[in-house]
Amino acid sequence: MAKLAIDGGAKVRTKSFPGWPVWDESELNALKEVLESGQWGIGNSKVTEFEEKFAAYVGVEYGICVTNGTSSLEIALMAADVSRGDEVIVPPYTFMATASAVLMANGIPIFADIEPDTYNLDPDAMEAAITDRTKAVVPVHIGGCPADMDRIMEIARKHNLLVIEDSAQAHSAEWRGQKVGSIGDIGSFSFQASKNLCAGEGGIITTSNQELGDKCWSYHNCGRVKSGGWYDHRVLGSNFRMTGWQAAILLAQMERLDEQTEIRNRNGIYLSEKLSEIEGIKPTKRDERVTTHAYHLYILRYEADKFGGQPRSRFLKALSAEGIPCSSGYNPLYKHDLFKASIQKDPVMYGCDADKADYSRLHLPVTERICDEEAVWFTQGMLLGTQDDMDDIVEAVKKIKDSFTQ
């Protein structure tokens, strides 16, 4: 049996996976155009051009470019009129911003558990979390895999809740042929450096609802209104505007998005087929209504009992040593001190009793098991490789399984 690299054996793979971000002359030329235009910020036509292009791509009427995917969530929640005492349902298996944005709007994040097979918000748990104070829900398309938008929308409509799709990881993902970010009332995307469409930093809000779109526009632009003057500030907003530099890069990056999505899908499907043959490895489920997966992350489920009882931490170390970069991903969000501390410090401001914010008593079993024992992540850049690259991943996992179960 081959000796594991972690024990001093030869690595399965010595090459690196494709690097990220990908760029060429088109980014350089676009940046030069911004430089020479002399309009680097407001008034730069590239921001408007990108807003229109991305909105059309997603299939909505309005796109509002902002500084990042955190501010886009904060602005969306403000536009949804979330304020003191309002509850907003979020999954706990996501980046911190999904829930911290609720606090920033003075709302109360209510964590509902996720599905064990997709790791996306569980619609049953979402429905069970609804109270007469629930204002909105923020499903996250985790890793780029669309959440069950049929059931989420049905439940949200029944209870009159606004739906803000956190699509930060899901550019180009489609649910039954419809792009995410266009299914709920508002979509929110991030263009942070690791994202499938990236400009270092950046974000966009998408909607077809003119009233919500206008509100978002005002909040992101110092409270101005579209029909008003430069010094005409009508609501409390801030400056969340994107620069021409970011828009220039995004326009160039967008030219590659569909092709890259296709490669990630081809490799993601192939990898799932091959990894599923290994007992103890279950790729997260891709629902048949997911017509396009963005594969921002490739997430698999590790079953220690099928790997000789070796904990996930040992598996991750062994896999990394074989030349396959991987990680364990998130911790349950409600365990971070910031949520408890923020509300309990000032329950009056949030309009809730301190008990409601006592997240130390909250236990969401699916999320906790996944975070503690099960999830294994690969990044989207790895899926831009070749089929041989995917075979290396499979070979490394098989080698580890053989060694752990000998």
Q: Which of 5, 13, 54, 98 binds ligand PLP (CB under 6 A)?
A: 98
The residue behind tokens 């062994």 is: 318
Nearer to ligand PLP, 134 or 169 (CB): 169
Candidates 147, 145, 98, 99; CA nearest to 299 is 145
Cα separations in angstroms, 363 against 98, 112, 140, 347, 367: 19, 10, 20, 21, 9
- Tokens at 62, concatenated: 């309005």
Least spacing, CB of residue 192 vs ligand PLP, in Å = 4
The yes or no reply on residue 94 touching ligand PLP (CB under 6 A) is yes
Cα separations in angstroms, 318 against 168, 302, 396: 30, 13, 9
Stretch that binds ligand PLP, among 94-102, 116-124, 262-270, 345-353 (CB under 6 A): 94-102
- Tokens at 55, concatenated: 């909105």
> CA–CA separation, 175 vs 38, rounded Å?
41
Cα separations in angstroms, 85 against 102, 105, 125, 164, 341: 11, 10, 21, 18, 17
The yes or no reply on residue 186 touching ligand PLP (CB under 6 A) is no
Cα separations in angstroms, 3 against 312, 390, 401: 19, 21, 12
The residue behind tokens 């292009």 is: 53
Nearer to ligand PLP, 4 or 103 (CB): 103
Angle ∠(223,227,230) on CA atoms, nearest 5: 55
Which residue is nearest to ligand PLP, using beta carbons? 69
Count of residues near ligand PLP by CB under 6 A: 14
Least spacing, CB of residue 78 vs ligand PLP, in Å = 16
> CA–CA separation, 191 vs 115, rounded Å?
27
> CA–CA separation, 213 vs 338, rounded Å?
30
The yes or no reply on residue 265 touching ligand PLP (CB under 6 A) is no
Stretch that binds ligand PLP, among 92-100, 150-158, 352-360, 397-405 (CB under 6 A): 92-100
Stretch that binds ligand PLP, among 37-45, 68-76, 126-134, 147-155 (CB under 6 A): 68-76
Least spacing, CB of residue 167 vs ligand PLP, in Å = 8
SS3 148: coil
> CA–CA separation, 326 vs 316, rounded Å?
6
Stretch that binds ligand PLP, among 63-71, 150-158, 174-182, 347-355 (CB under 6 A): 63-71
Nearer to ligand PLP, 120 or 310 (CB): 120
The one-character DSSP state at 319 is: H
Least spacing, CB of residue 232 vs ligand PLP, in Å = 29
Q: Binding mask 192-231 vs ligand PLP (x if CB under 6 A, - otherwise)?
A: x----------x----------------------------
Q: Which of 34, 47, 58, 97 binds ligand PLP (CB under 6 A)?
A: 97
Cα separations in angstroms, 157 against 48, 185, 280: 32, 11, 39
Stretch that binds ligand PLP, among 64-72, 247-255, 261-269, 339-347 (CB under 6 A): 64-72
The yes or no reply on residue 328 touching ligand PLP (CB under 6 A) is no
Candidates 135, 136, 137, 206; CA nearest to 170 is 206
Q: Binding mask 135-174 vs ligand PLP (x if CB under 6 A, - otherwise)?
A: -----x-------------------------x-xx-----
Q: Which of 4, 60, 68, 206 binds ligand PLP (CB under 6 A)?
A: 68
The yes or no reply on residue 70 touching ligand PLP (CB under 6 A) is yes
Nearer to ligand PLP, 139 or 237 (CB): 139
Residues that bind ligand PLP (CB under 6 A): 68-70, 94-95, 97-98, 140, 166, 168-169, 190, 192, 203
